Amino acid sequence: YIQSIDPHQPYSAPEVPPHLESQRPMTAPYDAEIFFNDRQIGRLYERLIQLGLAEDTLFVVTADHGEAFYEHQHQGHGQSVYEEEVRVPLLMLQPGVVPRRIVDRPVQLVDVMPTILKHCSIPFRAEVLQGQDLFGESTSQPRPVFLSRYFYPDGAEIAEFRSDEYNSVIETPWKLIVTLRVGSSQPQLELYNLDNDSGEKSNLASQKPDVVARLHDHLRGFLRRQEQEKLAFRSVYGVQRAARPPIPQNTLDQLRSLG
């Protein structure tokens, strides 16, 4: 497992290629880190080939989040469930074993673990996992994809962290975002057609009440299951927050630097 912290603030790529500067000046430093990181991943994979390990290795590239540049009035990540923050790459490669194809339907990061375990013939209990084996036949059927940005009380001390909660469900091509503002009992609803509005600029919630109702029902079911999972987890492992030893300041600083 290799965690490359780039692309991430502070942006410090060795150089910004001219074509990136001219195409997207505002995001050029970020794009340059993607550009640089992409080539380092390429160097790593070329070395696997040289060592004769590529055909015996399931090579997976993915990310934990995207980055916002004021597409929806804020910058950074961890603050919303809009596409610029939640849509990430997922590539899986093993020459001669994994067939070349592009999956154009949304999948989830929770799918990565069961996919790797199944592919590598490592026993696991599929019924206790929320994700699916992406190489399995069951994933050929469309399924809702869920996204959440919860409010963590520990985040209250960080000024840029919003205390609103965002939940979303994608059922291609539709994406419903449900926002619960602090102090409000009525959620804000946003509906987008990602096929022709990938930037999520045109809210169609008032025009498509039937779609909103269907997706909102899916989302409520997901959130109920999440609460049940939390209760089950706590019943097994317990929650003793007050007894937790203090986290050293240097550890907190490192975690914050990771976002």
Task: Give the CA angle between residues 22, 90, 150 to the nearest 5°.
Answer: 90
d(CA 2, CA 178): 35
φ, ψ for residue 231, nearest 5 deg: -65, -40
CA distance to 66, 88, 113, 130, 226, per residue, from 232 (Å): 31, 30, 21, 14, 10
- 35, pLDDT greater than 70: yes
- 151, pLDDT greater than 70: no
CA distance to 112, 122, 212, 252, per residue, from 60 (Å): 9, 17, 35, 29
Residue 208 confidence (pLDDT) = 97
Enumerate residues 6+ apart whose C-beta is below 8 A from 152: 161
Q: What percent of the chain has pLDDT over 90?
A: 54
Whole-model pTM? Answer: 0.83
d(CA 202, CA 198): 10
125 neighbors 56 (Cβ within 8 angstroms): no
- 139, pLDDT greater than 80: no
Average pLDDT over residues 167-181: 94
- 108, pLDDT greater than 80: yes
| SS3 assignment, position 32 | helix
